[in-house]
Amino acid sequence: MANYTQTLSNKRLAIIIWIIVIFFISVLVKTFNVQINKHKSYVKQANNQRERDVRLLANRGYIYDRNKDKFAITIKKDTVFATPYLVEDKEKVAKALSPILKESRSNIYEKLSKPGGFVFLKRKVNKSTADKIKELKIEGIDLYKENERSYPLGRNASQLLGFVGMDNEGLSGLELKYDKALKGRIGRLKDEKDAFGKTIPGTRGQYLKPINGNSLVLTIDREIQHKAQVELGKAIKEFEAVSGSVTVINPQTGEIYAMASFPNFNLNNYKKASKESMKNRAVISLYEPGSTLKIIPAAASMAEGVYQSDSSFYLPPTLNVAGKSIKEAHERGAVNFTLSQIVSESSNVGISKVALKLGKKRFYSYLKKFGLLEKTGIDYPGEISGYVAKPEHWYGPTIATIAFGQGIAVTPLQLARAYAAIANGGKLKKPYLVRKVLSPAGKTVKTYKPETLKKVMSKKASFEAILMLEKVVAEGTGEVAQIKGYTVAGKTGTAQKPKVGEKGYGDDYVSSFIGFAPAENAKVLTLVIVDSPTKGYYGSQVAAPAFKEITEFSLQQLNMPPE
């Protein structure tokens, strides 16, 4: 009996020993797993709760117009953030914040459940939202100041200026083109927090001070820009057009005074803007220029000594060119016109004769000289170049149709620059939008000056071309564009639009007027384009009145006294 009891005790002891051994083995395994296998993971979680790593955004530089009036500024906005481990009842807090932040409860709860010690709940909220958050006084929910881009004038120059994203990075327009100069350098702050989310003294680690961005002073005059947008909008509305653009430039320097497009959008609410409203049509839209191109072959013929402004032409009612009948916009009988009259009366037959005499190679070379087949090089992203087929691909009547602006596509800015070369004595200028770059302290970092790219024609030939364009306004198709006290040189354009996906031309038109003043010492050149008007379509009717209003206002704004 005693042996049996002894044996049972030994077995129980052995079981207890094995239990103890297994317990210690499991503890060792667990300890090994925690300290070795999952060491990095737990350290990371601990660091996430204890350490804070925050980006410190620099103040983005301002954008000014040429007179230092503000186009784009930086303001302070409150951003709502959470320290998740300090939020006790996450479900209750998510429920309270949801209607204030206008975010779903589940989305807020998910953010509050993250292991990190810092999480954005909503960035750059308005004052009303910030005040409501403050009133709640929830442990672990707080606010801090961030920079936000603001545009005091809303729609003024919207496509030109462009906009920035949530982290103040340029996304379009000049904000994108000059993003590196404007945004400055982002700073960084790393420190450690206690259980209450307070910085532990002496734990500040990496600290990189943000450096504020430089500012831009544009060539744009915001008053001229506003006038251009207003008058363009009136023309679009009155003639029930689809879209349009206005370009105002100093032909002597290449400085852009205004660049407006319709439709436009509010820069302070760009997320609701349509793609069409974001287009800066002056630099990214091609169109056939129609009769506004006629001055180019006329000027080329004088530059080459082929014709003079008073050279006489017999012009039949129609002209047969390689089997195609070239007609006038308005029926007429046979006439004798000078070269000057061909331009002022906008004769298709006459300018076709001029181009035929020039020949394909010379005509094409002047299209290139006037910069109509290449990008202007303006300091703006996304510019495209004009297009016309090379002369070897021109069939019979092509040279004639190009002469009056069909079969060639240009941007508004390219055409404006070409006319500027006539207005300034024959020099092709590089258009530009930024005059100066200023440091955060207001000192000039860089200055941009006028740049002549090449000589297009002699002063004599350009002067003769100016006189022709003066005659257009004085007694030709552009009489509506006359401005009291100033001589104006200009040209109307009424171009049929090509059919989309088909050959030939449809019933829609592009109406335009381009001109400059004072004619023989031009300081302002304006191009107005109205696309697809439905109540009238002649350039003299649709675009010339807007040209007159914009140009007259610009001359006054720039303190150009009447002649």
Residue with tokens 């990371």: 44
Q: Which of 3-7, 114-118, 288-292, 549-553 has the lowest mean pLDDT?
A: 3-7
pTM exceeds cut of 0.75: yes
pLDDT bucket at 185, cuts 50 / 70 / 90: confident
Per-residue pLDDT at 115 = 78
Q: What is the pLDDT of residues 60-118, one digit of tens each?
A: 999 999 999 999 999 988 999 998 888 889 899 999 999 999 999 999 999 998 877 78
Residue 431, Cβ density class (10 Å: 0-12 exposed, 13-18 middle, ≥19 buried): buried
Q: 177 with 380: CB under 8 angstroms?
A: yes
Selected catalytic residue, list 261, 291, 301, 344: 291
Q: Above 70 in pLDDT, residue 385?
A: yes
pLDDT bucket at 188, cuts 50 / 70 / 90: confident
Does domain 52-218 sit in CATH 3.90.1310.10? Answer: yes
Q: Above 90 in pLDDT, residue 504?
A: no
Per-residue pLDDT at 503 = 82
Q: Which of 199-213, 371-385, 405-419, 504-518 has the lowest mean pLDDT?
A: 199-213
- Segment 15-41 mean pLDDT: 66
List where CATH 3.90.1310.10 sits in the chain: 52-218
* 265 vs 156: CA distance, rounded Å: 9
- In order of 58, 160, 332, 495, the CA distances from 278 in angstroms are 27, 9, 44, 25
* 196 vs 426: CA distance, rounded Å: 73
Per-residue pLDDT at 3 = 59
3-state secondary structure of 203: coil
Tokens of 328: 């006038």
* 359 vs 374: CA distance, rounded Å: 21
pLDDT bucket at 202, cuts 50 / 70 / 90: low
pLDDT bucket at 219, cuts 50 / 70 / 90: very high
Burial 517-528 (b: 16+ CB within 10 A, else e): bbbeebbbbbbb
Q: Which of 31-40, 94-103, 114-123, 393-402 has the lowest mean pLDDT?
A: 31-40
Burial 74-102 (b: 16+ CB within 10 A, else e): beebbbbbbbbbbbeebeebbebbbebbe
Residue 196, Cβ density class (10 Å: 0-12 exposed, 13-18 middle, ≥19 buried): exposed
Q: Which of 235-239, 329-333, 338-342 has the lowest mean pLDDT?
A: 329-333
Per-residue pLDDT at 98 = 93
- Segment 231-236 mean pLDDT: 98
Per-residue pLDDT at 34 = 54
Q: Which of 98-112, 413-427, 448-462 has the lowest mean pLDDT?
A: 98-112
Per-residue pLDDT at 407 = 93
> Sign of dihedral through CA atoms 366, 367, 373, 374?
positive
234 backbone dihedrals φ, ψ, rounded to 5°: -60, -45
Per-residue pLDDT at 32 = 61
- Segment 402-423 mean pLDDT: 97
Which are the contacts of 230, defined by CB distance < 8 A and separation ≥ 6? none
> Sign of dihedral through CA atoms 61, 62, 66, 68?
negative
Which are the contacts of 342, defined by CB distance < 8 A and separation ≥ 6? 294, 298, 313, 315, 350, 351, 354
Q: What is the pLDDT of residues 477-489, one digit of tens each?
A: 999 999 999 999 9
Per-residue pLDDT at 200 = 55
Number of helical H runs and strand E runs in the chain: 19, 21
Per-residue pLDDT at 515 = 98
Tokens of 97: 């914040």
Per-residue pLDDT at 466 = 97
Q: What is the pLDDT of residues 245-285, one digit of tens each?
A: 999 999 999 999 999 999 999 999 999 999 999 999 999 99
Q: Above 60 in pLDDT, residue 396?
A: yes
pLDDT bucket at 10, cuts 50 / 70 / 90: low
Q: Above 80 in pLDDT, residue 321?
A: yes
**Cα dihedral value 344, 347, 352, 355, nearest 10:** 0
Is residue 512 annotated as a catalytic residue, yes or no? Answer: no
Pick the more confident residue, 470 or 38: 470
Q: 379 with 177: CB under 8 angstroms?
A: yes
List where CATH 3.40.710.10 sits in the chain: 222-270+277-557
Per-residue pLDDT at 330 = 86
Neighbouring-strand partners of residue 146: 77
Q: Above 60 in pLDDT, residue 42?
A: no
- Residue (of 437, 436, 450, 275) closest to 377 by Cα position: 450
Q: What is the pLDDT of residues 111-152, one digit of tens each?
A: 998 877 788 999 999 999 999 999 999 998 999 888 899 999
Per-residue pLDDT at 58 = 82
Per-residue pLDDT at 309 = 95
- Segment 139-166 mean pLDDT: 93
Class of domain 222-270+277-557: alpha beta
Per-residue pLDDT at 480 = 96
Per-residue pLDDT at 5 = 61
- Segment 18-46 mean pLDDT: 62
Q: Above 70 in pLDDT, residue 325?
A: yes
Report the chain's mean pLDDT, rounded to a whole number.
90
Residue 202, Cβ density class (10 Å: 0-12 exposed, 13-18 middle, ≥19 buried): exposed
Tokens of 346: 């906008």
- Segment 456-474 mean pLDDT: 96
Residue 395, Cβ density class (10 Å: 0-12 exposed, 13-18 middle, ≥19 buried): exposed
Helix, strand, coil % over all residues of the chain, rounded to 5: 40, 25, 35
Q: 203 with 192: CB under 8 angstroms?
A: yes
Q: Report the amino acid identity of residue 84.
A: P
pLDDT bucket at 501, cuts 50 / 70 / 90: confident
Q: What is the pLDDT of residues 283-317, one digit of tens each?
A: 999 999 999 999 999 999 999 999 999 999 999 99
